[in-house]
Chains A and B, each alone.
Chain A
């Protein structure tokens, strides 16, 4: 765990110095791509709380990205560009959606849970496609970038980059605190053996549902950033393929480590960009890489890291 913390701090530090380096190298656009990777890193972190720590394989997590993005987009279209309004609304909307759908989904487990969260994700997707006032199927441009108490915090690639980095760092710190708290230990206990936890006197449901809600809210925060990054809101943010990608980021990065999903998301987004440069059919090698990685490696990137350093 200490190792994981150090890896995360090194990662954040390295990423933080990249924008000036990249513009010095004449590749300022990479900063924009990197911002996108950081947003997905935040979303992957949030998924790790339920997937890695709570063993809940949610296949509808992209819905929360979408809820965050639409909260920002709808408010902006109505003249409310302040993050001080957008963020609370995004969090509340995501929290309510997570509370209701989580309460139903968590009555089931295993494959049922996977399929039901997927179905609820689709439900949110169709809800957004039916919002004809906000672009329907196609989505629409963000009316104006979000501000914070009137300050244009997202203005310019570099500013936006550091804002996303700050959100990621905050999300990491927050989730790190939660996973080490009493609550976090109970959550991890339900992952290890729910029957043992019940025999100790814990009812897993309430802990799982709480984690599910927190996780959805953090993902919605990433969604607010995503809308600003693309300057666009679209139902495609919440497609089920996106949920699958988030799971892959967490699982291939290393579940339950917090650092792993961040690594996974960075690797994922950058690989996607690199492959897309080489071929329009990048999904083919990409899919193959996912298949091979799961079949032939264990423990994700973090697992590989700790193995090369002689741990575990």
Chain B
């Protein structure tokens, strides 16, 4: 039981870290640019496909990953340049529609190029297998690597936002847009950068996941919605909120699915507990979101504007 708890806890943390990587870009794009981007999940998907494709070309997953990350950055910059920058002075509804259309195009685009079936990538040899983490309990090395890489990026992001000039502009921009333009910063360049970086983070998260989940069309949709839940819980525009909420959602979702039925069994007869568990587990994070919003409509770390 303790072992299962640790195992699932690690799984939850790893899922949470990945969610954070995707959510960070989305919450920044919204906080700084006031744009809601439904195609953000598709950036995650593009990351997995690019990683799979480059791995196929080079024969090495690490090389594929190293190529995929800058490629997702370039892709993000192109999307901003071609579409997103036309949306800054549009209503949220227009943004929803355009990025929804964009998402349809991207999902269908990968289907055209790579087909509808899943594309899987071999786990790199050095990172396959598992190591002991707690007594006899073993955990896959690759998942630990994802956890580590995700944490490293989170720390790097924290540093970039709190310790660099651009980061300062971003924080200022998220709370007071007028101030940033008053500082004489080239807003267009800043926005391009933020969007590109957000796309790259999502793409990086996707690329890291290829060996585990394999690339599939529409795979970004689920991620996008989880990401929405994360940034709504965290407070839209808040990186810290996104971090806390991502871990919370990752843990609640993972632990709920494995322990929910077990807990229910102590309350209900086994049959009913099984059915209730299966019903409730996938809804748990939405219930969590509803509860948090009922108490704090602007999320856990509301951004003042």
Q: How many residues of A contact B (CB 8 A)?
A: 42
Q: CB-CB < 8 A to A252: which residues of B? A: 97
A residues with CB within 8 A of B: 51, 57, 59, 101, 104, 107-108, 110-112, 114-116, 118-120, 122-123, 126-127, 129-132, 240-241, 244, 247-248, 251-252, 281, 283-284, 286-291, 294-295
Contact across chains for B282 and A126 when beta carbons are under 8 A apart: yes
Contact string against A for B residues 80-96, beta-carbon threshold 8 Å, 1 for contact and 0 otherwise:
00010010000011101
Bound-complex Cα distance A51 to B221 (A): 23
Inter-chain CA distance A309–B259, complex, in Å, is: 63
Q: Tell whether, in the assembled complex, residue A57 and residue B112 are in contact, meaning their CB atoms are under 8 Å apart.
A: no
Contact A123 B286 (CB under 8 A): yes
Cβ < 8 Å to A, chain B residues 208-253: 221, 225, 228-229, 231-232, 236
Known: A288-B105, A291-B105. A104 touches B282 (CB 8 A): no
A-B contact pairs, 24 of them (CB 8 A): A57-B93, A57-B96, A104-B293, A108-B298, A111-B30, A112-B297, A115-B229, A119-B232, A123-B283, A123-B286, A130-B279, A130-B282, A131-B279, A132-B278, A241-B221, A247-B96, A247-B97, A247-B100, A284-B105, A286-B101, A286-B104, A290-B101, A291-B98, A294-B101
Cα–Cα, bound, A116→B293 (Å): 9
Interface size on B, residues (CB 8 A): 42
Chain B contact residues, CB within 8 Å of chain A = 30, 36, 38, 83, 86, 92-94, 96-98, 100-105, 107-109, 111-112, 221, 225, 228-229, 231-232, 236, 275, 278-279, 282-283, 286-287, 289-290, 293-294, 297-298
Q: Which residues of A contact B38 (CB under 8 A)?
A: 244
Tell me the complex Cα distance, A244–B93, Å. 11
For A283, give its contact among B30, B107, B282, B297 (CB under 8 Å). Answer: B107
- Please give, as numbers and ranges, the residues of chain A lying within 8 Å of B109 by CB-CB distance: 284
CB distance from B125 to the nearest CB of A (A): 35
B289–A116 touching, CB < 8 Å: yes
Given contacts A111-B236, A244-B100, A294-B98, contact A284 B92 (CB under 8 A): no
A119→B226 CA distance, assembly (Å): 8
User: Which A residues are CB-close (under 8 A) to B236?
Assistant: 111-112, 115
